[in-house]
Amino acid sequence: MLIKDIMKKNIYTASKDNTLGECAQIMAENKVGSVVIVERGKAINILTESDVIRAVWRFNSLDMPVKDVLDKIKKGKSLITVTQNVTYYQCFQLLHKYNIKHLVVVDERGELKGIVSYADFIEFLNDFSVKDHLTDVYNKRFLEFSLEKFKAEKTKFSVIFIDLDNFKEVNDNYGHRTGDILLKEVGAFFKKNVRKTDIVARFGGDEFIILAVNTPEDGAFKLAQKLLEGLGRRKWQVLGHTFQIRFSAGVASTFGKIHEEDSIWTVVELADKALYQAKASGRGKVCVYDKTMAGERQWSLR
């Protein structure tokens, strides 16, 4: 997920010749926590609400020009910026590393394009935006954030890509209300039967993805088999009807198989190919995607 898709584009700016009071007024009227200081269309610094409070406390004046404020309270501190193609998680890392609350977003020429703040992260991470409204597992947006996080932190993990077998027949024969209730029950089953460190997300329709953290391929395969067997043993009662649910699954791992230059979605794509193979071989199976030592890809159906 790139920052250009999430950043705030309505940026409030001021020049070095504006006063501290004028900047404070901009923040108050527009309910924002910062003003970007620009010169010839390019961001040169940022004045935050905490900077304003510090300056007023220290100098007891709102009439001081911004250039004097920056020279006295931010001398030697250069503006930290990011380009539009930086990921959301990389921005989060920078905010944490430099203990700042705002990041200015610029294009390749250094021209101002947007701003992102800690408040944006709070908005992003609330349950409404990261949870699937139907099943209450995580959604694709949070899945992407987690993949970015794992890549940045070099966390090893495996992907279990799950497709419920013949689920379309449930919707066609019993209605979408029944199907929705069943999807929610299945999502709850997956959450209950994985570790708290694992991530369960709905990828779309009747597809789920589980990120098994610090779990190599064999461990993910065993987990998928356990889920398949546990799901198949249950009889699901929904609106007076009884169902038995099975799924097909593909497994892929970052352990020794994914390179630094690969996309965050590479391992998901490999798991998807393994899922296709599992479905093609009769459904109700778990298939592991593997590579030979020579680098050629092969299928391993276990």
pLDDT tens for residues 265-301? 999 999 999 999 999 988 899 999 976 322 334 444 4
Rounded to the nearest 10 degrees, what angle do helices 49-59 and 20-30 cross at? 140
32: left (phi over 0), alpha (psi -120 to 50) or beta: beta
Q: Which of 150, 117, 159 is nearest to 249 (CA)?
A: 159
Q: What is the pLDDT of residue 207?
A: 97
Q: What is the pLDDT of residue 301?
A: 46
Place of tokens 């994914």: 258
Q: What is the pLDDT of residue 299?
A: 43
Q: Tell me which residues of the chain have a pLDDT lower than 50.
A: 292-302
Q: Is 218 a catalytic residue?
A: no
DSSP, collapsed to helix, strand or coil, labels residue 134 as: coil
Q: Contact at 8 Å (CB) between 106 and 43?
A: yes
Q: Which domains does the chain have, with CATH numbers?
A: 3-124 (3.10.580.10), 129-301 (3.30.70.270)
Q: What is the pLDDT of residue 178?
A: 94
DSSP, collapsed to helix, strand or coil, labels residue 204 as: strand
Report residue 22 as tokens: 């004028």
The model carries a pTM of 0.75
| Bridge partners, residue 102, by sequence | 117
Q: Which of 163, 206, 218, 290 is catalytic?
A: 206
Report residue 54 as tokens: 């510090």
Place of tokens 């694709």: 140
Q: What is the pLDDT of residue 300?
A: 46
